[in-house]
A and B are shown apart, each in its own frame.
Chain A
Amino acid sequence: MKIPVKLLCIVITAIIATSFIAFRDSNSENAGTVFPWKQAGLTERQAVAHLLSRFTYGARPGDIDAVMKMGLEKWFRQQLDGNLSDDSLNQLLSDYDALKLTNAEVVATYPKGAQVLRMAVKDGVINKDSVNKADKKAYKGELKEYLQQNGMKPQQELFRQFINQKILRAAYSNNQLQEMMTDFWFNHFNVSITKNDCAQFIPAYERDVIRPNALGKFEDLLVATAKSPAMLLYLDNFSSSGTSDNDSKADMQRRNKFISQQLGDSAMQKMQKARKTQGLNENYAREVMELHTLGVDGGYTQQDVTNAARVLTGWTIYPMDDKGFGGGIKKMLDKIGEDKLRARGFVHEGDFLFAANRHDEGEKTVLGRHFAAGGGYEEGMELLTMLAHHPSTAHFIAGKIAVRFVSDNPPQSLIDKMAKTFAEKAGDIKQVLLTMVASREFWSAAAVHAKTKSPFELAVSAVRSMNGDIRQPYQLFNWISKMGQKIYYYQAPTGFPDNGQYWINTGALLERMNFGLALAAQRIPGIKVDTTALIVDNNKPEAAGVKIGSPEFQRK
């Protein structure tokens, strides 16, 4: 039987039209969203496999069947809600005591190595002359004892726990999307353990700043990062202060009088000295526009950077330690008292301090917006709000999310749709993700299997694919590092690049193959896997290893 071409065209048009209507509904009313995988010619099993490949750290045996039964849309909604119970994971994490500490407690318990040494020398536990004269082994024992006696622990232990928890969460959390988005935003707002000064604040940064906001509003995320000790130290804003050129003489006199009255002249001199040695630092102001919000082509100038930096002067860290870092300032602030500080325009919010005395009170213009003189703390908040909702930001963030979840070169049509949702829904991250998954582009042949797994994704998905039991997560970290992704140690504020070209080079590729072989041969200490979950016939375990190291397993 021959079907007239005309009729066929009408039928196809009708199908396309109805599916379009379904999308439009789904964009305005999320409840009824139907993912258009059928139109892309995928089977349901293929569609689920694609969905799980993008929003989990790899499917475990049985996962695809379970999601087919539940329905793709329902599964995704659950993931967006991110509140499935995680009892067994929490049980595993309960041993990690360092991860429950506040920043101040971390400072007290896990001091920086050099700081410990200095304290030990000062307390006469270690002879000044023995330090560095012999190698470190000579006083290692004494140092360890000194730490123990004073209730302190080596900082490496904090990082070990922190790294382990990321691997355990990725492998075992039922809220997989939450973990993926936590990873995404951490990388977007990257901070690095390689920078000593901020390193100890990074565990709390992920826990309190990134994870709770990972599926929330972009603006909240931006503000929370701006105020966090990790970011303030990583991009130097903690030290940025107004220069006297920008302050009026009256401002200065008023401020000086206030400090003298409150604290006496010696404190006054101290403050003045501190001010003199510091000044405007543009690092954060530049990166917040270039990397966090507008993007490098987002339409800002050097003038905007300088003025944004001036807006953010005085955004710093509330001193946490009586003895160490900022101890002197803490005593001073305690003496003045919260009420008086507030009256003078200071803002103290957790670890964040807006130090009004360090703020540039002159008028500024950023991206055409005028900030009148004397804007204080509020003008910084206004600036961040403006950046969070800027059209360039909507496009930049939409593009980055699409690169993470769709392909290294996502179609502009998709980015535009996502950016539109970002703008209309005031930066609601869940809505942007929904728009993406409800798009035709997400399910297209150009997207399926288009992404290259990062080393972290490869390692965790390999373990998950074989129902792995992770007793020593750090062993996986070592492999992940060898494969080219030393998590939490990426030095540049750009975060790890998100494309296959970056991850795949000769050395890294060999390590991926070797990782597969070692894992399947049960040669990674503390990691047990069930190779029969991956190979059906009675092949040798090496067959599972080859599968993990194969080109197909590097993609998702």
Chain B
Amino acid sequence: MSSRRRFVKTGGLALLGIGVGGIPTFLVRAAETEKLSALYKKKKILVCIFQRGAMDGLMAVTPFNDAYLQAARPTLFMTAAKAAGDAQLIDLDGHFGLHPSMKAFEQLFREKRLAVVHGIGSPNNTRSHFDAQDYMESGTPFNKGTSSGWLNRATGLLGHDATPFRAVSLTSSMPRSFYGTNPSVAISNLQDFAIQLKGNPAAAEMAAKNFEDLYGHTSSSLLNKTGKESFEAVKMLQSAAQSNYTPANNAVYPNNPLGNALKQIAQLIKMDVGLEVAFAESGGWDTHFNQGAATGIFARNVTDLSDSIVAFWKDIEAYQDDVTVMTMTEFGRTVKQNGTGGTDHGRASCNFILGNDVNGGIVHGNVQPLAIDNLEDGRDLAVTTDFRSVFSEVADKHLKISNDGVLFPDWKGSKIGVMK
């Protein structure tokens, strides 16, 4: 495929070099197409997944030798002991155990492509979902007035031209992470990215022509430019047949919002439309009631999360070198279980980073024994890794964005080596 492209490109340009005279139009057109896609090709892609509601990091990746944790969680604690049967944690390193419902992650961890950072969180100790998400997404944990999101700033620092699909959030509304002046798109369904009129496709097609003409001739440069980009984007999506999409490698996406979002991100990646930053969400992590242990609400959530990510990873096998996936959640949950079989709002949690340039197979971070003296405010897993040190390292190593002063103003920390 790529050799054919190279041939067309060099051949086409060479022909152009000797004069336009007798060049077959199909070759010129092919060269132009190639120029267009060459512009978009071979970009690194960061996929961020926000787990809204605050994931219990101590249940996702459990320090299973910790007697304090065991005592604090009479019905929630699980062990890595064989005797536990179905409830047995997956022993990662003799110290941390992966929740059994995340067994899909195990292989990637063993292959050293998946890393965990434990004890990650925000220096601002708010336990409000809203505030903590706001701070994490703006990237400024002590300043609410920051108008932009960190991923929007990141796209502004990429230092090359954007396509209409450079930053895409597969959500119904623009996430806080994407707020800002750099162009970005929020769309829950790629099929909607077209001129359409329910029940009257012929009229829509006519109207599309009219619109393209009107926007091509308007005196407003903003509307003119964006209009052109819109129609270009529509054509990009149309040319890459998107209905009846079949994932590669028999990957099966779970039928849930995250699975659907990641499937569409995979489609965008394969279409070569210039995607560089993608965003998706996963909900239901606010487990105050009966969060369950080996089974139950939490188990279902982590199944959805890991199965979705693993299906995505299989699906984009040919692009894995270019893609890094990173999860994030606004805070963790109390070390002690509460009176209703759940956990309340805490401080640190853990996150997952997947990619071929990730320093994987390691649980990074610094989790101390959960004795009360080591807990933040006497109750929560302490934040020992600032989320910005991890986000900035991923942005730096994967997207080659090194301007931390713009990405995370006010932050002056060091990186912890989650990337190679």
- Which residue numbers of A lie inside 8 Å of B, CB to CB? 114, 117, 121, 128-129, 131-133, 194-197, 235-236, 283, 286-287, 290-291, 296, 452, 481-482, 484, 486, 489, 491-494, 497, 500-502, 504-507, 509-511, 513-514, 517-518, 521, 523, 540, 542, 545-546, 549-552, 554-555
Contacts and interface: CB of A to CB of B under 8 A. Distances in A.
B32 interface: no
Given A506-B183, A517-B204, A133 B130 contact: no
Contacts of B138: 492
A497 B147 contact: yes
Interface stretch (B7-15, B228-236, B304-312): B228-236
B307 to A, nearest CB: 17
Contacts of A132: 287, 289-292, 296-297, 342
Would you call the interface of chain A mostly helix, strand, loop, or mixed? helix
A291 B145 contact: yes
A510 B230 contact: yes
A291 B144 CA distance: 10
Contacts of A500: 222
- Smallest CB-CB A-B distances: 4 pairs: A551-B218, A507-B185, A195-B130, A506-B164
Interface string B199-218: 11001101100110011001
A296 B409 CA distance: 15
Contacts of A296: 145
A452 B146 CA distance: 24
B67 interface: no
A121 B218 CA distance: 60
Contacts of A551: 214-215, 218, 220, 223-224, 227
Contacts of B291: 132
Identify which of A129, A504, A509 gathers the most chain B CB atoms within 10 Å of its CB: A509
B292 to A, nearest CB: 7
9 contacts: A128-B340, A196-B130, A236-B131, A287-B144, A502-B181, A506-B233, A507-B230, A517-B196, A551-B224
B289 A131 contact: yes
B143 interface: yes
Nearest to A552: B218
B183 A546 contact: no
Interface residues of B, number: 62
Given A132-B297, A555-B220, A510 B234 contact: yes
A509 B75 CA distance: 52
Contact of B207 (A194, A482, A513): A513
B226 A506 contact: yes
A378 to B, nearest CB: 27
B16 interface: no
Contacts of A507: 185-187, 193, 230
B176 interface: yes
Interface of B: 128-131, 134, 138, 143-147, 164, 172-174, 176, 179, 181, 183-187, 192-200, 203-204, 206-207, 210-211, 214-215, 218, 220, 222-224, 226-227, 229-230, 233-234, 287-292, 296-297, 340-342
A359 to B, nearest CB: 22
Contacts of A552: 214, 218
A131 B197 contact: no
Contacts of B198: 518, 523
B278 to A, nearest CB: 14
Given A493-B145, A506-B164, A481 B230 contact: no
A550 B214 contact: yes
Given A514-B195, A551-B227, 7 more contacts: A128-B341, A283-B144, A484-B174, A492-B145, A514-B197, A517-B203, A546-B210
Contacts of B134: 491-492
A121 B179 CA distance: 39
A296 to B, nearest CB: 7
Contacts of B128: 195, 197, 236
A521 B198 CA distance: 9
A504 B222 contact: yes
B372 to A, nearest CB: 17
B230 A554 contact: no
Contacts of B179: 491-492
Contact of A492 (B147, B185, B218): B147
A283 B197 CA distance: 46
Nearest to B165: A506
Nearest to B209: A546
Contact of B144 (A492, A502, A509): A492
A290 B198 CA distance: 46
Contacts of A287: 144-145
A7 B77 CA distance: 95
Contact of A550 (B129, B211, B222, B341): B211
B145 A286 contact: yes
B176 A549 contact: no
A235 B290 contact: no
Contacts of A114: 288
Contacts of A128: 289-290, 340-341
Nearest to B230: A506
B173 A489 contact: yes
A297 to B, nearest CB: 12
Contacts of B342: 132
B176 A491 contact: yes
B116 to A, nearest CB: 25
A56 B182 CA distance: 30
Contacts of B230: 506-507, 509-510
Identify which of A132, A484, A504, A540 gathers the most chain B CB atoms within 10 Å of its CB: A132
A295 to B, nearest CB: 11
Contact of A523 (B199, B234, B289): B199
Contact of B197 (A497, A505, A521, A550): A521
Identify which of A491, A493, A555 gathers the most chain B CB atoms within 10 Å of its CB: A491
Nearest to B128: A197
Nearest to B218: A551
B229 A133 contact: no
